[in-house]
Amino acid sequence: MSQQHLTPLFTGVREHAKKDPIQFHIPGHKKGNGMDDEFRTFIGENALSIDLINITPLDDLHHPHGMIKEAQELAAKAFGADFTFFSVQGTSGAIMTMIMSVCGPGDKIIVPRNVHKSVMSAIIFSGATPIFIHPELDNHLGISHGITTDAVSKALEQHPDAKGLLVINPTYFGVSANLKEIVDISHRYNVPVLVDEAHGVHIHFHEDLPLSAMQAGADMAATSVHKLGGSMTQSSVLNVKEGLISPTRVQAIISMLTTTSTSYLLLSSLDVARKQLATKGHEMISESISLANRTRQEINEIPGLYCVGPEIVGSKAAFDFDPTKLIISIKDLGITGYDVEVWLREKYNIEVELSDLYNILCIITFGDTLAETTTLVNALRELSKLHQDQIELRHTAEVNVPDIPTLALSPRDAFYSETEIVPFHESAGRIIAEFIMVYPPGIPILIPGEIITKENIDYIQENLAAGLPVQGPEDQEFQFLRVIKEHHAIR
Ligand SMILES: Cc1ncc(COP(=O)(O)O)c(C=O)c1O
């Protein structure tokens, strides 16, 4: 019989707390007794009673052999993996583990250019050389999709010695590639496939959603349980299939990247989220899909708005689509996605997942009901009326996304090079030594080692002027950028 209704970790931690032991160990707040009253009252005694540390009865995430091991084994069964490692360092920690498990200094890793910054951080830490694949750009929406099987074949033909291929599946916007075929191609070269599954924890549990990494036969997947799977923020899992990957190496690396003070609140929340997904996930996700589809249809009846649906599937990089993502193109209203984000916040107390120059993204999960989506639709109706003149004027507005910059130095060499500061507006032609990205989604506009272009400067300026959260440089005011120092002949 399936054991998925059990929660060995949450149950074990709770039973330990119930014994009310006298604690001469950290955390020093001692079940909340030593904590600020206001916070203790707000957060509650139950939560504080299980805010514990890895004492012997509670197992140890760094050497699991008891309740954490059992919980990870149940998770592996639920996710179709051979091994599951719990992460309290977010999906970023799981992604860094995947890359550092397969790459050392000088090793090649094939990655799409539109990766999350944690991928680039791991490339810098490991000293690996990225071989970039151009993601497919959706010129209508102004967003990047996944990578095509043709591009993967070409990259592997040219770099059969790569130590890994990283795929984002599905993307932040819910678009997925033909992962099964990508895995088959990569395995012909014995190259392991590492999947950034930050936005796909739920897809494993419903047949109407894209194939999950484990279903497609990928070797590793960093899967954000906290994003869409019902666990607490920062908790995540790393799923592993044995064969091209050594699970003992993965355990060693994840341990190197993880705090020794692992939160039992986060770990317990992973245990219960897994139980919920495995036992009730299908039914709950069915409801989320219906609610999202109904909302999409209503939004598509509003003049000037377009909410992306299954018609997006068809291009080589858009092989499948997660309907619980509501990508709402607002460009025909003559305002930016950020303007809409602010208006929804101020007028309707609605917070969206992200906005960019042309879109807003709202996610529907099993935490939503018709009441919330109705408020969203009503708000969007009002917004459309407010911008009616623009809709009549514009019809189909253009999007502008800069080309991918040229990489002149490896990101690690650039990061550790001798650098200097130059004015932002005079930086075209120079090699950047820092990251620049809009977060969310956290995809770099520039990474260390790339040559800055005038087009990049204009695009950054456009995002800043729109009020979008452009981040990365030491100088948060964007007056200056750190670039690789140039050495001129002495006169
Ligand atoms: C595509 C992608 N990968 C990885 C991450 C990192 O996840 P986490 O915030 O759990 O570290 C994110 C977060 O936004 C993401 O969007």
Q: From CA 373, how far away is CA 315, in angstroms rounded?
A: 29
Buried/exposed 167-206: b ≥16 CB within 10 Å, e otherwise: bbbbbbbbbbbbbeebbebbbeeebbbbbbbbbbbbbbbb
Give the pairing type, strands 470-471 and 193-197. unpaired
- pLDDT, one tens digit per residue, over 24-76 is 999 999 999 999 999 999 999 999 999 999 999 999 999 999 999 999 999 99
The residue-averaged pLDDT of 73-97 equals: 98
Q: For the chain, how are helix, strand and coil distributed in percent, rounded to 5? A: 40, 15, 45
Q: Decide whether any atom of ligand 1 lies within 6 Å of the 135 Cβ.
A: no
**What mean pLDDT is reported for the chain?**
94
Atom of ligand 1 nearest to the CA of 226: 10
Which pLDDT score, from 0 to 100, does residue 393 have?
62
Q: Which of 145, 224, 235 to mutate to test the pocket of ligand 1 (most atoms within 8 A of CB)?
A: 224
Q: Decide whether any atom of ligand 1 lies within 6 Å of the 257 Cβ.
A: no
Cβ neighbours around 3 below 10 Å, total: 13
Q: Decide whether any atom of ligand 1 lies within 6 Å of the 223 Cβ.
A: no
Per the structure block, which two tokens stand in for 458?
Answer: 């204009």
Distance 213 CA to ligand 1 centre (A): 16
Nearest alpha carbon, ligand 1 atom 7: 91
- pLDDT, one tens digit per residue, over 434-463 is 999 886 676 788 999 999 999 999 999 988
- Alpha carbon of residue 276 to chain centroid: 22
Q: Decide whether any atom of ligand 1 lies within 6 Å of the 116 Cβ.
A: yes
Q: From CA 472, how far away is CA 481, in angstroms rounded?
A: 10
Q: What is the pTM of this model?
A: 0.94
